[in-house]
């Protein structure tokens, strides 16, 4: 049997090729792209972390995959999800992908659940958006998912409004909704930032476990190096819209190549000795102080 | 002195619970008042002691008596009966006008607020064109074209309030749309229509409901004003505004012809205003926090 006869399963679940995102501004002044020429491929089943400061373009990149950027954004390049192009697709095609093949969980679980809806119904809604099943079946599946993500008495909690759940439980609901249709790719945009440390660890553990059980590929976005170190297989460092460095988590933390990565790691409070001043990212490298040209120059330098 | 008793002396602050109680009071008061008025209006044919349009020459400008508790008017018609029937018309016109207006304004506001950009510009600028015209002038224009009558008055009122209600809906939609759960719903695969109908609308309806209830009070006054001018409900059908108009020449000799329909308007406006205030407080997020 020749390779052509098989149904081709692309090795990479998600592939960015020279992806740039630019936002149009009202006064037509030229602003730098929010994401600038990112090329990256995610292997099946891995947890890939993206670290970077606020404004480095991490979330923009994630939203570009989902096609959830505002109308003022222009995306160029190519984003392949399971070998299918996302850039330039119309909304109906993207919609069939969202919550099905690709799911996303957001930073603030309290805000990403509709306060007027029972939590269980919000999971069931995800299922019914993609599967032709009746209400009762969807409810049963949603309840099972709630149990899987560790909500006790799932059947009883199904009808609860989001405000009746704790922050950690709400994030679990969001994760359950994201996993409802067995997505191949899960994009987690700062999934633990709004949670306290204990709950944070539990949620990360949950994501890791679900990855193992369902074989989901995870794109984990965070500015928290501790989170990245804990669960990621590989890490990409973003800065000013540019992907500076990609390395395995172990490699990145042991031997960061790019000077910015070194500065970023040095600024991690967990690693700094007690009683000394915490190292900061040099002011010259702060995103606000950089001009477009300097950013590009630095990025080019990094590539060499 | 123990800490306990000291604490008890601290002046009470307005707690959410207290605020909620005050909203309940307004809601109950306004609702009950409106309920009574609605029952009176609906049951007018059963309750009215006389035919509201029956002219009895003998009883022209008769003072309130056992037979005519509110007296009788210039044509000897029973004022109580006419107030009951007039209330019927007034409530019907004001409520249906605001209802129609809301039903049209809500989707317009949702579309404008949700999609923004050219959709918003198109809808908002079109509605602004209505907004720049003075309400009474607009109503009179409608009546000049379509002829006077209750239905035309209701239509005119609906058009006048359309931009106000749509703007309220648009602004609350803008706020709700910025919530992450809207993006969240989209990320879970919901389409625009589903997001708008199931997620945005229920969360954005509060202010427009309050506004509609307050506008009902204004609509009632507007209808009375139009009828007073002879542009609304046409005689011989009794209307509160029309009765005020009839009685103004005999204000000194027979004040009851004027007082009772006037009181009916005041009570109805109060009922709508209380209801609106109660709803406003109930929807106020600071008041409903647990």
Domains within chain B, CATH numbers bracketed = 33-288 (1.10.3720.10)
Contacts of A107 in chain B (CB under 8 A): 180
**Structure tokens, A273:** 């000795």
Highest average pLDDT, of A149-153, A162-166, A287-291, B259-263, comes from B259-263
The alpha carbon of residue A175 is apart from the nearest alpha carbon of chain B, in Å, by 11
List of residues 6+ apart from A4 with CB closer than 8 A: none
The partner residue sitting opposite B188, judged by closest CB among A107, A108, A126, is A126
Nearest to B181 among A96, A100, A113 (CB): A113
Banded model confidence at residue A287, pLDDT cuts 50, 70, 90: low
8 Å CB contact of B180 and A177: no
Helix, strand, or coil (residue A159): coil
Torsion sign, CA atoms A136, A137, A138, A142: positive
Q: What order of strands is seen across the sheet that includes strand A242-248?
A: A102-105, A185-189, A217-222, A47-51, A234-239, A242-248
Cβ neighbours of A112 in B, within 8 Å: 180-181, 183-184
Position B16 scores a pLDDT of: 56
- B186: which chain A residues are within 8 Å (Cβ-Cβ)? 66, 68, 95, 98
Residue A5 maps to a domain: no
Q: Where are the alpha helices (DSSP H) in chain A?
A: 58-66, 91-97, 109-112, 119-130, 135-148, 154-157, 167-179, 197-214, 225-231, 249-254, 259-266, 292-303
Provide φ and ψ at A74, rounded to 5°.
-120, 125
Mean pLDDT score across all residues of chain A: 79
* pLDDT of res. B164: 93
A/B interface, count of CB pairs below 8 Å: 76
- 10 Å Cβ neighbour count for B175? 12
Domain that holds residue A283: 13-303
Tokens 């799911």 sit on residue: A103
In this prediction, the answer to ipTM > 0.85 reads: no
In this model, does residue B10 exceed pLDDT 60?
A: no
Point out the residue among B180, B186, B188 whose CB comes nearest to the CB of A111: B180
What is the bridge-based pairing of β-strands A185-189 and A234-239?
unpaired
User: How confident is the model over B37-50, as pLDDT tens digits?
Assistant: 888 888 878 877 77
* pLDDT tens, position by position, B45-82: 887 777 777 777 777 777 777 777 777 777 778 888 88
In angstroms, the separation between the Cα of residue B204 and the nearest Cα of chain A is 11
Confidence of residue A267 (pLDDT cuts 50, 70, 90): confident
Per-residue pLDDT at B135: 84
pLDDT reading at A206 higher than 80: yes
Q: How many domains does chain A have?
A: 1
pTM recorded for the entire structure: 0.74
Closest by CA position to A12, among listed A88, A79, A100, A95: A79
Q: What are A's interface residues with B at a Cβ cutoff of 8 A?
A: 66, 68, 71, 91-92, 95-100, 103-104, 106-108, 111-117, 122, 125-126, 129-130, 163, 174, 177-178, 180-181
C-alpha distance from residue A140 to each of A124, A137, A174 (Å): 9, 5, 17
Rounded to the nearest 5 degrees, what angle is found at the Cα of B172, between the Cα atoms of B170 and B177? 90
Q: Which of B16, B177, B180, B181 to mutate to test the interface with A (most CBs of A within 10 A)?
A: B181
**Residue A288's pLDDT band (cuts 50, 70, 90):** low
pLDDT of amino acid A3: 45
What is the DSSP-derived secondary structure letter of residue A5? G
pLDDT (tens digit per residue) in B215-244: 999 999 999 988 888 888 887 888 888 888
Find tokens 């996993």 and name the residue: A179
The CATH number given to whatever domain includes residue A192 is 3.40.50.300
User: How crowded is the C-beta side of B238, counted as CA atoms within 13 Å?
Assistant: 29
- Side-chain half-sphere exposure of B128, counting CA atoms within 13 A: 7
**Quick one: which of A92, A93, A123, A118 has its CA closest to A105?**
A123
How many other C-beta atoms can be found within 10 angstroms of the C-beta atom of residue A105? 26
């Amino acid at each position: 049997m020749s390779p052509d006869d098989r149904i081709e399963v692309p090795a990479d679940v998600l592939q960015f090729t020279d992806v740039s995102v630019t936002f149009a501004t009202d006064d037509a002044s030229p602003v730098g792209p929010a994401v600038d020429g990112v090329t990256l491929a995610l292997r099946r089943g891995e947890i890939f972390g993206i670290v970077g400061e606020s404004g480095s373009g991490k979330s923009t990149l994630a939203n570009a995959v989902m096609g959830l950027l505002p109308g003022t954004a222009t995306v160029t390049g190519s984003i392949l999800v399971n070998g299918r192009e996302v850039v330039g697709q119309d909304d109906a095609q993207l919609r069939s992908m969202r919550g099905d093949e690709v799911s996303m969980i957001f930073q603030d679980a309290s805000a990403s659940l509709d306060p007027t809806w029972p939590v269980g119904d919000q999971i069931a809604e995800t299922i019914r958006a993609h599967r032709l099943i009746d209400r009762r079946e969807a409810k049963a599946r949603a309840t099972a998912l709630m149990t899987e993500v560790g909500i006790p008495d799932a059947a009883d909690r199904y009808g609860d409004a989001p405000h009746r759940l704790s922050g950690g439980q709400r994030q679990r609901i969001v994760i359950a909704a994201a996993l409802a249709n067995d997505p191949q790719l899960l994009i987690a945009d700062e999934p633990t930032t709004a949670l306290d440390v204990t709950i944070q660890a539990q949620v990360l553990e949950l994501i890791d476990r679900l990855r193992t059980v369902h074989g989901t590929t995870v794109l984990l976005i965070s500015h928290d190096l501790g989170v990245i170190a804990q669960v990621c297989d590989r890490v990409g460092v973003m800065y000013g819209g540019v992907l500076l460095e990609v390395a395995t988590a172990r490699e990145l933390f042991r031997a960061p190549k790019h000077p910015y990565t070194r500065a970023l790691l040095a600024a991690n409070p967990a690693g700094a000795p007690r009683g000394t001043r915490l190292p900061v990212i040099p002011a010259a490298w702060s995103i606000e102080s950089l001009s477009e040209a300097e950013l590009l120059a630095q990025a080019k330098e990094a590539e060499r | 002195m123990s800490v306990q008793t000291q604490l008890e002396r601290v002046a009470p602050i307005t707690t959410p619970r207290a605020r909620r109680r005050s909203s309940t009071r307004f809601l109950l008061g306004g609702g009950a008042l409106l309920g009574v008025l609605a029952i009176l209006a609906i049951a007018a044919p059963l309750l009215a002691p006389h035919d509201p349009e029956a002219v009895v020459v003998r009883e022209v400008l008769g003072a309130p008596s056992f037979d005519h508790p509110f007296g009788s008017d210039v044509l000897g018609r029973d004022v109580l009966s006419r107030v009951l029937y007039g209330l019927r018309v007034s409530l019907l016109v004001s409520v249906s006008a605001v209802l129609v207006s809301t039903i049209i304004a809500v989707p317009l506001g949702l579309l404008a607020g949700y999609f923004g950009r050219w959709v918003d510009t198109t809808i908002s600028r079109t509605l602004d064109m209505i907004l720049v015209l003075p309400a009474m002038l607009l109503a009179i224009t409608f009546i000049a074209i379509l002829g006077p009558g209750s239905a035309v008055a209701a239509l005119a009122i609906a058009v006048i309030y359309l931009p106000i209600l749509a703007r309220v809906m648009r602004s609350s939609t803008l706020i709700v749309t910025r919530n992450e759960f809207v993006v969240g719903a989209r990320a879970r695969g919901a389409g625009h229509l589903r997001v708008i109908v199931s997620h945005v609308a229920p969360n954005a309806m509060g202010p427009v409901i309050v506004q509609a209830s307050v506008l009902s009070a204004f609509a009632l006054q507007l209808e009375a004003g139009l009828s007073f001018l002879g542009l609304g409900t046409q005689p011989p059908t009794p209307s509160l505004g029309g009765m005020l108009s009839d009685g103004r020449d005999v204000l000194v000799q027979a004040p009851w012809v004027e007082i009772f329909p006037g009181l009916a308007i005041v009570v109805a406006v109060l009922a709508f205003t209380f209801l609106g205030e109660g709803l406003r407080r109930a929807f106020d997020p600071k008041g409903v926090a647990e």
